[in-house]
Amino acid sequence: MRLFLASLTILLFASCTKPQNDSPSTTPNQLDTAMNTTEKALVVVFSATGNTRGVAQHLASAIGADFFELKPAQPYTTADLDWTDKKSRSSVEMNDPSCRPAIVEMPANLDSYSIVYVGFPIWWYREPSIIDTFVESNAEALDGKTIVPFATSGGSGMGTSSENLQALAPKAKVVEGRRFRVGVTAEELADWAKQF
């Protein structure tokens, strides 16, 4: 009986010890595949005054994304941005749902990204019409991608922005957007972006 217990103890001990082979449990190909599952991201922004650009640059830097700024073919002047003037350019554009302001250049190779963060200031409780130009013009290239809207505003929320963008790119997955204050930190942005 003692011999049986001794043999059982040795057998149990041997099965619980680490094997002498220190090779990793995954092969190099498995490791490469696991590393390549990181999704490539692009941060696209329109910023009339520079506030949203700053947040977008912090976001791109914090998450290691590429950055692209949309520039209107006709730059906005201070008078154009006067929301109290119903005849100002921005007021006229925002009152016309079909308005699509021209953009100087679109980002190249949208098909190489799986996530596209789209940043803008809130105008009249939604995204500016120039963002509609970008999304609608690139709807096919955005098929199957995740679009993450984000915005800056003095106090307004995202309004109907996410729904509007989803309607313009119906085959993309547009998630609920978020408004940030101008002084948001890179750490806060990185924490928020982890969910995508």
Helices (H), the chain: 2-16, 28-35, 51-63, 89-94, 129-137, 161-168, 186-193
Summarize the confidence of residues 80-103 as an average pLDDT: 94
Distance CA 8, CA 47 (A): 73
Reduced to 3 states, what is the DSSP secondary structure of residue 35? helix
Instruction: Enumerate residues 6+ apart whose C-beta is below 8 A from 80.
Output: 88, 89, 90
* Tokens read off for 192: 């928020």
Model's pTM, two decimal places? 0.79
Summarize the confidence of residues 100-114 as an average pLDDT: 96
Band of residue 38 on the pLDDT scale cut at 50, 70, 90: low
Class of 41-193 per CATH?
Answer: alpha beta
> End-to-end CA distance of the chain, in Å?
61
Domain coordinates in residue numbering, the chain: 41-193
Among 64-68, 97-101, 151-155, 159-163, name the one with the lowest average pLDDT.
151-155
Distance CA 61, CA 67 (A): 9
Summarize the confidence of residues 153-174 as an average pLDDT: 95
CA 37 to chain centre: 16
CA distance to 34, 65, 116, 148, per residue, from 123 (Å): 41, 26, 21, 18
Average of per-residue pLDDT values in the chain: 84
R_g (Cα) of the chain, nearest Å: 25
- What does 172-192 look like in DSSP terms, one character per residue? SEEPP-EEE-TT--HHHHHHH
